[in-house]
Amino acid sequence: MSKQFDVIVIGGGPGGYIAAIRAAQLGFNVACIDEWKNAAGGPAPGGTCTNVGCIPSKALLQSSEHFNHANHHFAEHGIEVKGVSMDVAKMIARKNSVVKQNNDGILYLLKKNKIAFFHGRGSFVKVAEGGYDIKVAGAAEEVITGKQIIIATGSNARALPGTPFDEVNVLSNDGALNIGAVPKKLGLIGSGVIGLEMGSVWKRLGSEVTILEGLPVFLGAVDEGVAKEAHKAFTKQGLKIELGVKVGEIKNNKKGVSVAYTNAKGEAQTLDVDKLIISIGRVPNTIGLNVEAVGLALDERGAIVVDGDCKTNLPGVWAVGDVVRGPMLAHKAEEEGVAVAERIAGQHGHVNFNTIPWVIYTSPEIAWVGRTEQQLKADGVAYKAGQFPFLANGRARALGDTTGFVKFLADAKTDEILGVHIVGPQASELISEAVVAMEFKASAEDIARICHAHPSLSEATKEAALAVDKRTLNF
């Protein structure tokens, strides 16, 4: 007799473990299956985000930022530091410790919420009476049965055809987080989020970094003004960014990697590097899920087909996060996970895709919510724009980082905020105010009339809102 559950969640990443917790809070008997292993072979829930994504990358970004400050910025504060060196092994060990704390935290939360945790790969067996049989293949094999199934199996790094990841010289996000020594020359294919963040880390630590991007524009999804400012800042830092390239043959040998490509002018070039990070997007992960056994529908990208409520084509089967349509963001997965658990309970869970914030944790940070200026133009929306530079912000001056600006886009008639775009210090934190404002359908005037603490970076947000009506006070 298999173990019976009201809800089985396959995947313990941000979408999965949060869905499991919310379902347990709503009174369901819940199981969560996850196969991630730590170095000792034990469970390591948290998915890509905790293990080889958002969390470890932020740990390395923080370490490299400290190193950069000690080398280049302490002196202007009157702090004299001599003989600064970087122990890469120690930096990686700290990163691993941060990851472990997260893993352990999630295991504790599952236990606290009385969720049965199964360590192994979950896959469909068959439609069973009143639900579905799910096989867990871990140290041992067992079958459990669930009335409702939530699939949260995430995504995998997209490989370049003919160039598999060996995680030694040709790296995905996984290998990029575990480089054992600072590479003299580092190449990146793709100027996506992961590529830029990892490029920033190793550039600060002394690598010569070249980014090859196939698109003719830099950060095409970002507001054009922000992308230009970021490109200027990254180039100034020494990141070499080549746009409009066509990548040809890639040779991986013991000494390093050789990339043949043609540049935007059509000239044949070769890039020789010690390590190559490929960051060309991610693909939905349904490996080993055995969707055929129950007839679960996938689309042409390999994503699980869902409707607006995250329902699949099968009754009682739901899917959330990177394995379905929409942005591949941890916080989007979490919101979907909560919404699905609430829908199973007969409530009206909701995710507003228009107010999901995006962040790139480079230096300067880039963050935005809502529509870009180019999207508003394409849609023929009449809008007003207001912008305020951190150069005119007292707190940014005191921090010693005045790169970038805050930009507001508001409806020309109603003044409703349609998008907020930030490039500069602490953009990841500043964007939250804009998300709240947009969720409450605030106008630019509303933000302009709200008192912001002085001196704070958030004053740049208020001033950008004032700029919509061309009445900034400090610029």
Residues 6+ away with beta carbon under 8 Å from 156: 282, 283, 285, 287
Angle at 175 between CA 173 and CA 176, to 5 degrees: 60
Pairing verdict, β 256-262 and 268-273: antiparallel
Going by C-alpha positions, the residue among 438, 413, 422 that lies closest to residue 386 is 422
What is the radius of gyration, based on Cα positions, of the chain? 24
421 is catalytic: no
Could you tell me which residues come within 8 angstroms of residue 359 by beta carbon, excluding any fewer than 6 positions away?
A: 365, 366, 367, 427, 428, 431
**Backbone phi, then psi, for 178, in 5-degree steps?**
-130, 25
Q: Write phi, then psi, for 224 (nearest 5 degrees).
A: -55, -45
Per the listing, tokens 């200027």 go with 232
Among 72, 73, 350, 454, the one annotated catalytic: 454
How many whole angstroms separate alpha carbon 32 and alpha carbon 8? 6
Residue 362 phi, psi (nearest 5): -85, -175
Distance between CA atoms of residues 194 and 328, nearest Å = 12
400, burial (CB in 10 Å: exposed 0-12, middle 13-18, buried 19+): exposed
Angle between helices 14-25 and 88-112 (to 10 degrees): 20
**3-state DSSP assignment of residue 441:** coil
**Catalytically active residues, by annotation:** 454
